[in-house]
Amino acid sequence: MDISLKNAAFPDSKFGLSRTRELLRRTGSPDKKLKIVHVAGSNGKGSVCAYITAILCAAGRRTGTFTSPAVFCREESFCIDGVPAPSREVEEALAHARGCARGMADPPSPFELETCAALWLFAQRGCRYCVLECGLGGLEDATNAVCAKEAAIITSISLEHTAVLGPTIADICRHKAGIIRGGPSLVPADLCPEAAAYFAALGSRRAGEGAEVLSRSAEGQTFRYGGADYFIRMHGDKQVYNACLAIECARLLGVGREATERGLASALLPGRAQIVEAGGRRYILDGAHNPEAFGPLVQLLGGIRGQKSLVYTALSDKDVAACAAAIGGLFDEVIAVPAPSSRAMDVKDIAGAFAPYCKKILSAGDIPAAMELAGSQTVAVSGSFTHLGEARKWIEKEQWRP
């Protein structure tokens, strides 16, 4: 049964597949024209989508990629061959989906409209493959309304959105496993024992066993897996497992090793441990928002000397205390700032969470004020994707300041 999510963190969201299936039918069933790789997980979905997209493009296979949320612009959610679709085409697709939705007794949510618009756009542009990222959970997520899949990939399992998905690891597994429907599925080898057992019982293939990191640098890391060496530009131990998921997916899709190597080496993801140099400073933009997601940022900061500032915001449904415990001790100062969202966490709660780990706690009314206030050579902006776009705009202006 389809339901609205009666939760303050998701005021406009709905669960269930019937609306999206009806809208897909009305738009000409574009999902039936695409070979779909479906990606769910608590963390790492965006990275795995980026790796798989880059590999398919390296193999010459035209690919549409739908991910959420967009970090810097709406068009990032609607990529064709790894490049955001033109704004005009995205608006045309959204307008087409809205038009097809007219008269539906149960109107689709904004995310359901976007999902159908993306699939329609990809089919119109002649894409052969679609890499599709789940929005929330999996089982009843709008993206799970598609008719069939080439592969289902679960990137990780941790407690998240427990008010909606349930309070236990088994609950989270049930929702993520909902995307596995009649085709092959992949999971990383580093799942916790309970999750590993759950997916083993479903016959999911493990990716990443025996993977070994050979070297790390500011440019990325080299690892060995299955007798071959690969280079990736993304940081963090988890990225090796994410890359291994993409390697195994490439094998399922019949992509050769050479294209897989080139694709992995070219893949990047905006807003994930992304370094930007401007005005004689180093800025790190990272949308991590739960404790398990901070690995790349922690690893990157470990190789950077000097004082460091953290500009941090959070949405109200996040475990800010656990996030502060994961990264608070790495910074000389923390600046708490409200997120540009109706779901923003109070800055007093953010400041209180970081107080045990950092002596200097400040607050600012918005992102520009927080960036001006930061006093270190290295400034990390993290806690949510919602404020990264505003931070980047400020940094770009800083580049041209006299």
CB 156 within 8 A of CB 162: no
The CATH number of 274-399 is: 3.90.190.20
Does the predicted model carry a pTM greater than 0.85? Answer: yes
**Judging by beta carbons within 10 Å of its beta carbon (0-12, 13-18, 19+), is residue 296 exposed, middle or buried?**
buried
Residue 12 pLDDT class (50, 70, 90 cuts)? low
- Per CATH, the number for 3-266 is 3.40.1190.10
CA distance 65 to 187: 20
Would you list the domain boundaries of the chain? 3-266, 274-399
Please, which residues have CB within 8 angstroms of residue 227's CB and are 6 or more apart in sequence?
A: none
Q: Range with the lowest mean pLDDT among 190-204, 294-308, 357-371?
A: 294-308
- Kindly report the average pLDDT of the chain as a whole number: 92
Angle at 305 between CA 303 and CA 307, to 5 degrees: 130
User: Would you say the CATH fold of 274-399 matches that of 3-266?
Assistant: no
Per-residue pLDDT reduced to its tens digit, 127-160: 999 999 999 899 999 999 999 999 999 999 988 7
HEC assignment per residue over 211-267: CEEEEEECCEEEEEECCEEEEECCCCHHHHHHHHHHHHHHHHCCCCHHHHHHHHHHC
Which residues, including other chains, have CB under 8 Å from residue 313's CB and lie 6 or more apart? Answer: 336, 337, 338, 339, 344, 345, 350, 383, 384, 386, 387
**What separation in angstroms does the CA of 23 have from each of 20, 101, 106?**
5, 6, 11
Q: What is the pLDDT of residues 285-341, one digit of tens each?
A: 999 888 888 988 998 898 889 999 999 999 888 899 999 999 999 999 999 999 888
- The candidate with the shortest Cα–Cα distance to 270, out of 38, 40, 79, 57, is 79
